[in-house]
């Protein structure tokens, strides 16, 4: 299915609800980027947390990815998505607000930081499960690639701006007060989602009382039974594992072994972020030019190739320039491929399984990271950092093979989506 660029732009320009969703994601992501800087600074500089406590804080923040995603996806398919997004934003704002309040009262401790990390991790999963599966409600299937491109570009800008703002705020008003920016961002996000007025189809009532576990099992069986969706998710999880093996020691390798200064490290990351932004903006055009299947496969294939300069790198500015350029190319194609494969999965998936399909992807992808981190810790004892990187790079070849022998290889245009079951819209005045 193809649509002219002119038509796509015309429809997007007359979609205020899509603009509200993009603005909502921008607001919450920029605020979260502020907290990404402020919360560790608060734990280290003001609470004097130990390295073990910092590791526990990071672990608790990631734990909900592997535990909560499947139930959140089932709830997203069972109930209206917009109220879930609003409730998640408001709960996140309330949880974060306890930090500056406790700091002002002089009672803030690491235990509260742990609790807030868990709450935020759960809320993010619930919100994302609803938001990602809500996008196909707002736009027609042939516009999903353009909509995902807009979301990706907005996310890149918001994350970069939020990180810079977070660093400035921590220096100006302190880490605890900086968290108030994230509280405000969640309130703005909730308001924007509340203003969306596109009627949302609701799930048809099931016969009898269904357990959440049954809904989760039904969703997993559906995903396993879809060859293209199943293969793309398997490729994503394998790539995530290989990247996580390398990311465990990536910063350490650059800073300690290659003697990259903190400033140069920040520049390398910034150049990589620029590549990601460019990829989000150009993804629809590239997919239209070379085909959706090749776009996805190239994005996966670039990742292991981009690790070669890292394995050969030495000290010096020339290698730093090479690493920055390589990272920009890697993130460019990762974003192009990411928006394309996400759009493909959204189009192929039946509406009643959207939330559970996205949750299955999040579970296996995020679940691979802790295992990869443990594997990296074991490998480095025997192979060293470069040897561990080599293993991670080789593992990233596996998803390319999976995609090359799958139906994805033959895809040029986006497929025709499955027929949508007629379901009544949500009540007009419903939140």
The residue among 341, 349, 360 whose CA lies nearest residue 72 is 360
By the 8 A CB rule, do 291 and 411 touch? yes
Quote the pLDDT of residue 272: 79
Residues 6+ apart with CB under 8 A from 142: 1, 2, 3, 8, 414
Q: What is the DSSP letter of 429?
A: T
Residue 419: Cβ-neighbour burial (10 angstroms; 0-12, 13-18, 19+): exposed
pLDDT value at position 53?
A: 75
Task: Return all residues near 377 (Cβ < 8 A) that are at least 6 apart.
Answer: 248
CA distance 80 to 156: 28
Residuewise pLDDT in 10s, the chain (431 residues): 344 333 344 334 347 888 888 888 888 888 887 787 788 778 877 888 776 676 677 677 777 777 788 888 888 888 888 898 999 999 999 999 999 999 888 898 888 988 998 898 888 888 888 887 788 778 777 777 777 777 777 777 777 777 677 777 877 888 888 889 889 999 999 999 999 888 776 655 555 556 778 888 888 899 889 899 999 999 999 998 898 888 777 767 777 778 877 667 767 777 877 888 888 888 888 988 999 899 999 999 999 999 898 888 888 888 888 888 998 899 899 989 988 888 888 888 888 888 888 888 888 887 777 778 778 878 888 888 888 889 999 999 999 999 999 888 888 887 766 655 444 444 333 33
The reported pLDDT for the residue numbered 9 is 40
Residue where the block lists tokens 């500089």: 45
CB-based burial, 320-347: b 16+ in 10 Å, e otherwise? beebbbbbbbbbbbbbbbbbbbbbbbbb
Residue 315 CB-density burial (10 A; 0-12 exposed, 13-18 middle, 19+ buried): exposed
Helix and strand element counts for the chain (H, E):
16, 0
Ramachandran angles phi, psi of 425, nearest 5°:
-70, 160
Query: CA-to-CA distance for 367 and 235, rounded, in angstroms?
Result: 14
Contact (CB, 8 A) for 341 and 327: no
354 contacts 77 by C-beta, under 8 angstroms: yes
Q: How far is CA 35 from CA 24, 339, 374, 382, 403, in A?
A: 17, 26, 26, 37, 37
Q: State the Cα–Cα distance between residues 157 and 45, nearest whole angstrom.
A: 28
Backbone angles phi, psi at 201, to 5 degrees: -60, 140
Q: What is the pLDDT of residue 420?
A: 52
pLDDT of residue 99: 92
Region of 98 please: left (phi>0), alpha (psi -120 to 50) or beta.
Answer: alpha
Burial label, 281 (beta-carbon count in 10 A; 0-12, 13-18, 19+): middle
Per-residue tokens: 254: 């650059």
The angle that helices 69-78 and 110-138 make with each other, rounded to 10 degrees, is 40
- Number of Cβ within 10 Å of residue 248's Cβ equals 23
- Which residue shows structure tokens 């969306």? 196
Task: Find the Cα–Cα–Cα–Cα dihedral 198, 202, 223, 279, rounded to 10°.
Answer: 10
Taking the C-alpha atoms of residue 334 and residue 365, their distance in angstroms, rounded to an integer, is 15
């Amino acid at each position: 299915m193809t649509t002219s660029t002119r038509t796509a732009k015309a429809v997007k320009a007359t979609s205020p609800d899509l603009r509200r969703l993009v603005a909502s994601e921008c607001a919450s992501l920029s605020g979260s980027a502020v907290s990404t800087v402020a919360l560790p600074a608060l734990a280290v500089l003001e609470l004097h947390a130990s390295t073990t406590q910092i590791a526990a804080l990071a672990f608790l923040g990631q734990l909900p990815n592997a535990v909560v995603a499947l139930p959140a996806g089932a709830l997203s398919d069972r109930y209206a998505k917009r109220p879930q997004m609003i409730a998640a934003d408001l709960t996140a704002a309330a949880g974060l607000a306890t930090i500056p309040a406790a700091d002002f009262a002089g009672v803030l401790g690491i235990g509260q930081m742990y609790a807030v990390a868990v709450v935020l991790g759960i809320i993010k999963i619930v919100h994302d499960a609803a938001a990602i599966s809500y996008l196909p409600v707002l736009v027609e299937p042939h516009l999903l690639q353009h909509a995902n491109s807009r979301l990706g570009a907005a996310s890149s800008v918001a994350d970069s701006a939020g990180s810079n703002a977070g660093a400035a705020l921590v220096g100006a008003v302190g880490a605890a007060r900086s968290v108030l920016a994230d509280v405000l961002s969640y309130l703005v996000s909730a308001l924007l989602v509340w203003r969306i007025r596109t009627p949302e189809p609701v799930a048809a009532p099931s016969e009898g009382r269904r357990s959440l576990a049954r809904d989760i099992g039904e969703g997993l069986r559906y995903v396993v039974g879809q060859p293209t969706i199943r293969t793309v998710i398997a490729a994503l999880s394998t790539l995530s594992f290989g990247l996580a093996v390398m990311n465990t020691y990536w910063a350490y390798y650059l800073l300690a072994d290659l003697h990259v200064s903190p400033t140069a490290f920040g520049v390398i990351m910034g150049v990589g972020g620029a590549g990601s932004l460019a990829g989000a903006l150009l993804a629809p055009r590239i997919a239209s030019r070379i085909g959706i299947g090749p776009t996805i496969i190239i994005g996966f294939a670039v990742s292991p190739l981009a690790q070669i300069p890292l394995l050969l790198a030495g000290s010096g500015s020339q290698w730093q320039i090479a690493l920055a350029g390589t990272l920009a190319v890697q993130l460019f194609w990762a974003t192009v491929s990411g928006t394309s494969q996400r759009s493909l999965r959204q189009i192929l998936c039946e509406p009643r399984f959207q939330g559970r399909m996205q949750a299955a992807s999040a579970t296996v992808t995020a679940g691979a990271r802790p295992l990869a981190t443990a594997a990296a810790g074991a490998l480095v004892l025997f192979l060293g950092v470069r040897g561990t990187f080599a293993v991670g790079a080789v593992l990233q070849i596996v998803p390319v093979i999976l995609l090359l022998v799958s139906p994805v290889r033959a895809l040029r245009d986006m497929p025709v989506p499955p027929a949508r079951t007629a379901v009544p819209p949500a009540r007009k005045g419903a939140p």
